[in-house]
Amino acid sequence: MRGLVQGVGFRPFVWRLARRLGVEGKVSNVGDAVSIHAAAPPEVLEAFALALAEEAPPLARVETVERTPSRPFRCDGFTIAASAPGTVSAGVVPDIATCPACLAEIRDPVARRHRYAFTNCTDCGPRFSIVEGLPYDRATTTMRGFHLCRECQRDYGDPADRRFHAQPIACPACGPRLALELGGARVPGDPLAEAAGRLTAGAILAIKGIGGFHIACDATNEAAVAELRRRKCRPVKPLALMVRDRAMLDQLCAVEPAEWEALCGPSAPILLLCRRDGAMLAPSLAPGNALLGVMLPYTPLQHLLMEAVDRPLVMTSANRSGEPQIYRDEEAREGLEGIVDGVLGHDRPIARRLDDSVARVAAGALRVMRRGRGLAPAPRPLPPSFSSAPAVLALGGELKSAICLSTAGRALLSHHLGDLDELTTQDAFETAIADYAALFDHRPEAIAVDLHPDYRASRRGAGLAAERGLPLIGVQHHHAHIAAAMAENGWAVDAGPVIGIALDGLGLGEDGTAWGAEILLCDYTHSRRLARLRSIPLAGGDVASREPWRVLLAHLDASLPPGEIPPALFDGLPAATLRAMIARGINVPLASSAGRLFDAMAALLGLAPPRLSFEGEAAMALEALAASAPGTHGFYAFGVVAENGLATIDPAPMWRAAVADLGAGQPRAVIAARFHAGVARAFADAALAAAAEYGARALALSGGVMQNAVLLDHLVARLAPTGLPLLIPAEVPANDGGLAFGQVAVAAARLMQR
């Protein structure tokens, strides 16, 4: 049995099942598989095989089962045998939220682990965040310094116990301990009670979690939240919060069944939820945003802390603005000085940084936006046709960096690393390459990178390929996005081409210009651009991505006569200078970007400041405004023209209608809603026309703009009635966090074709 079958209590599960059914034999780990030798009458073996699949532990994921007859063998009952040697290519389990059994135990006054903040078992607790090597044994984790007491050793060695071979097993007598530090000095008394008291009094504290530190404060206290923003230099970006339970959550957000299921799942992500009107929260928690990023407690420490404070807490990554999350104790003491009033920590080291995963429910499914704690490094099976593909290392892009390893028909997408324009993220990127290679014994036969030669990931990939004498395979940015959606949805190599709708920020196209709103004809090895959004000049280059008014000016100048452009839109801004730059062709690269189109509409509606304080600020505000419009409001039409052999989607009619509506006093929410509906209709219709012309058998949707739930809902509503399969990212992020997964699929397919 292969898949996630190690470190999840699978062998003791098999042992208990065999004893229950009267099966004799043995179970053992062999490399990255579990091997079972079973002897029983045929009908019992059939029941045993069926129960192995139907009753597997909650964290297990069986991908393949190979079953063969065996010669008779000697056995006396059923045993758990020692692990056999073999290569472990993938299979370390992600860190898992506290299970109901352990939660009940820490709440039981007579239990040995009552109120113990590090309680765990084979069904929950830290995994990837503590692993330093394989095989996954206590000696190769950050728990090796905590020697088991007699009672824990008994639990650890008993196959009937739920803590059998649970490597992080601990109790108050032998495990990690909490400490509260203020000004570098330990505070006497109960650290948790002292921390809770300070939080309720308005303090800002760092809290050590599974994959790093959070910064916490009372989410109902405006003075505390505003002070946190001031100290962290984070003026408007929404802050995540943690709630104690469903009762507390229902006071703040409207929650659908699928959303509650996701919150309570083993990965316990931050989930984007619609806030209720009048929710009793600090106004500056998520200013101007109808969505809140909410999570439930996922460690015993968090459960105990939330019960003690009995109010929602801000739980944001502990870092200085733009830098990666802090995860080492000394870094927390030094790096958070001046930001937090104290640190609630403990003495169990964290092996690697893991940001919280972020997701939302959109178009009827859970969509991962950031893959981190609780999800990484679970491998994903590639479509069956990739089973013989060579091993590939893909290094992703510049933003939302993640790497991906493939081997034996599986792909292992790393946790979120961050943006590579930060020096500390560059260090994390280098560490991850070495860490994953060593941990999973990965020996790539090729390196895959983005086509952009100036991406740090591309330069590093070129260097690795040269050092190791390996092929370097460049993959166009949006081809990788579409290939990721294809591979995640099981599209076979020989299943034929699909039509891809790639709506994104910016990525280097095959013609040397910036792409980001494309209709592509794709299989895994090739991609052909069939249609695009009309290109506009980005005055100032990359600066335009941070200053949406520049993009608005270019769009309006290309769409309306000068006398019809409201002059107040650019009051106090150097519009004349930009127009001169565009006229002379000075630092004005052309781009067909959906991300910049959404930014420009946000600027038209007054939702974007002259300079954004974080990526996505304008687009998030625009989506929230569109979602707030009651009912349906029609759509803005786009034009379609032939240009240089491409079908070009022309936004000029949309801009003329939107400016007219704005001048006529139409509510901004209605304009935002019509814009979303118009974009979806224009690209859906272009994709359907292409599918009919080229006989494509599926439609794939990807790119960072696809994380906009309003847009995605419109697209699915337009495309689903055709009956063509829709390949949409779910567990693999649609944004650049999933880019490496697509690069692996493209590179592997090209290598198989050679």
Please list the active-site residues. 11, 29
Amino acid at site 142: T
Strands of the 2-4 sheet, one edge to the other: 61-64, 2-4, 33-39, 24-30, 78-80
Residue 355 to residue 704: CA distance in whole angstroms: 19
Amino acid at site 93: V
- The residues, ordered by sequence, that sit 6+ positions from 247 with a Cβ below 8 Å of its Cβ are none
Q: Is 422 strand, coil or helix?
A: coil
Strands of the 404-407 sheet, one edge to the other: 380-381, 410-413, 404-407, 392-394, 446-450, 472-475
Read off the tokens for 326.
Answer: 């802090």
Running DSSP on this structure, what letter comes out for residue 556? Answer: H
Running DSSP on this structure, what letter comes out for residue 639? Answer: E
Strands 313-317 and 291-295 come out as: unpaired
Q: What's the residue count for the chain?
A: 754
Residue 12 to residue 34: CA distance in whole angstroms: 12
Q: Assess whether the previous peptide bond of 377 is cis (omega < 30° from 0).
A: yes
Residue 601 to residue 546: CA distance in whole angstroms: 14
Residue 71 to residue 690: CA distance in whole angstroms: 57
Read off the tokens for 282.
Answer: 């600090």
Amino acid at site 503: L
Q: Do 725 and 699 meet the contact criterion of CB atoms below 8 Å apart?
A: yes
Amino acid at site 255: V
Residue showing tokens 């009995």: 310
Amino acid at site 114: H
Residue 716 to residue 216: CA distance in whole angstroms: 38
Residue 478 to residue 529: CA distance in whole angstroms: 10
Q: List the one residue out of 744, 462, 481, 686 whose CA is nearest residue 595.
A: 481
Q: Is 498 strand, coil or helix?
A: strand
- The residues, ordered by sequence, that sit 6+ positions from 145 with a Cβ below 8 Å of its Cβ are none
Rounded to 10 degrees, the C-alpha dihedral 187/192/193/195 comes to 60
Residue 465 to residue 457: CA distance in whole angstroms: 12
* Maximal C-alpha separation, the chain: 92
Strands 498-508 and 514-522 come out as: antiparallel
